[in-house]
């Protein structure tokens, strides 16, 4: 069998496939990618995924997270912190809280407060991730609940787009 791809584990040929992928690699439990290319080893069952334009993919996920009305969940706080490129210590310093507080937010041991939630969203919006975040969205944040709507993304020729939210 002739293949264009070889397994990084055993160097055998790989078959190319396309299908939906639960994007756990993002650190978020609710992100799916529609029609993602993957390569499956014909010998050792290794699977390798192809993520085109990864920076664009992570940017659109971050935008979807900061625009959702419910308060941020721990995994979303961690994702946004990492998207900003900050360590837990840097993040705590920027947010004006103790490192232990950041840890509690990220593990859902304590919910992020409404002011810190808004500040984090604004920090991400003002970063290199997005160009606009209308302040009226801040009033729409529902601090009483944290939910995880399923995000399905698909690659376009030049970027990524949110298929469903």
- Partners of 164 in beta bridges: 152
Report yes or no on 95 lying in a domain: yes
Report yes or no on 13 lying in a domain: no
Residue 120 contacts residue 138 (beta carbons within 8 Å)? no
DSSP assignments along 25-76, one per residue? GGT-TTEEEEEEEEEEETTT--EEE--TTHHHHHHHHHHHHHH-SBPPPHHH
Number of domains comprising the chain: 1
Interatomic CA distance for residues 111 and 105, integer angstroms: 6
Residue 16, helix vs strand vs coil: strand
Domain residue limits at 90: 69-148
Report yes or no on 39 lying in a domain: no
Report yes or no on 157 lying in a domain: no
- The first and second tokens of residue 86, run together, are 């900050």
Report yes or no on 114 lying in a domain: yes
pLDDT in tens, the chain (165 residues): 455 788 988 999 999 999 999 999 999 999 999 999 999 998 998 999 999 998 889 999 999 999 999 999 999 999 999 999 889 998 998 888 999 999 999 999 999 999 999 999 999 998 754 434 454 565 577 778 888 888 999 998 888 988 875
Place of tokens 């390798």: 48
pTM for the structure as a whole:
0.75
């Amino acid at each position: 069998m002739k293949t264009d791809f070889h397994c990084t584990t055993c160097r055998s040929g790989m078959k190319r496939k396309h299908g939906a992928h639960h994007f756990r690699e993002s650190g978020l439990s609710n992100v799916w990618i529609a029609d993602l290319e993957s390569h499956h080893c014909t010998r050792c069952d290794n699977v390798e995924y192809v993520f085109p334009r990864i920076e664009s993919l992570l940017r659109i996920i971050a935008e979807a997270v900061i625009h959702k009305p419910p308060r941020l969940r721990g995994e979303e706080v961690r994702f946004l912190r990492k998207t900003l490129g900050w360590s837990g210590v840097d993040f705590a310093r920027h947010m004006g809280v103790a490192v232990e507080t950041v840890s509690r937010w990220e593990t859902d041991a304590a919910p992020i407060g409404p002011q810190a939630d808004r500040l984090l969203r604004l920090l991400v919006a003002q970063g290199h991730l997005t160009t606009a975040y209308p302040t009226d969205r801040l009033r729409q944040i529902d601090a009483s609940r944290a939910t995880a709507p399923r995000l399905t993304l698909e690659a376009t020729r030049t970027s990524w787009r949110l298929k469903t939210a």
